[in-house]
Amino acid sequence: MACGWSKYSLGGKVFYIVAIGDGRLEELLLREESSPDCAGDDNMMKVAELARRWILEGNVSAVDIGPNATPFQRKVYEAISKIPKGSVSTYSSVAKAIGCKGSRAVGQALKKNSIPLFIPCHRVVRKDGSLGGFECGPDIKEQILRKEGIRITNGKVDPSQIIYDL
């Protein structure tokens, strides 16, 4: 399995953006260690570097959406890929945008997301501004959002930065 990584400093800690794939991008993860058991592959190293720059600079280049996604998950991913850097939206807003009534289902889909960071699941928060969950931990979510220019006080996002209508 091809693999690449890119160093990324977050809140004084060093993380590795780990890209794992097989010919095409399949998985992109944030880890506290690089994966020692898989050798660096040129292509995946580029993917990881691209991801790092995407986080730091917000430049999105089109990336394949997870190949194993269900139709519902695809709809969720497509909807949230429209959220620009510097803004966030809410689980219920995403649900409404794709014509689904249950906001929990959106969270479900994001959790299953195989390529976080590129699919900006960190930009989806609760309606009341609290952060909600994140696979790599809520503190990581907060730090990534701060890096993107989101103001967070008392654990809540500044309402003026929340897009309620997608």
Partner DNA sequence: GCTAATAGGCGGT
Partner DNA sequence: ACCGCCTATTAGC
- Find the catalytic residue in 38, 100, 121, 136: 121
Catalytic status, residue 38: no
Please give the structure tokens belonging to residue 65.
């959406």
Least distance in Å: CB of 119 to DNA?
9
Between CA 1 and CA 20 the distance in angstroms is 7
Least distance in Å: CB of 99 to DNA?
8
Residues engaged in binding DNA (CB under 7 A)? 70-73, 90-92, 100-113, 116, 121-122, 124, 126-128, 132-135
Contact between 159 and 153 under an 8 Å Cβ cutoff? The reply is: no
Q: Select 2 or 20, whichever has its Cβ closest to DNA.
A: 20
Q: Select 39 or 60, whichever has its Cβ closest to DNA.
A: 60
Q: Select 11 or 138, whichever has its Cβ closest to DNA.
A: 138
Q: Which pairs with CB-CB distance under 8 Å and at least 24 residues apart come from 52-61?
A: 52/6, 52/7, 52/8, 52/17, 54/117, 54/118, 55/8, 55/17, 55/117, 55/144, 55/147, 56/147, 58/84, 58/85, 58/86, 58/148, 60/118
What's the Cα-to-Cα distance from 10 to each of 16, 73, 80, rounded to whole Å? 10, 29, 23
Least distance in Å: CB of 126 to DNA?
3
Least distance in Å: CB of 61 to DNA?
21
**C-beta atoms surrounding 87 within 10 Å:** 16
Q: Select 47 or 121, whichever has its Cβ closest to DNA.
A: 121
**Catalytic residue positions?**
121
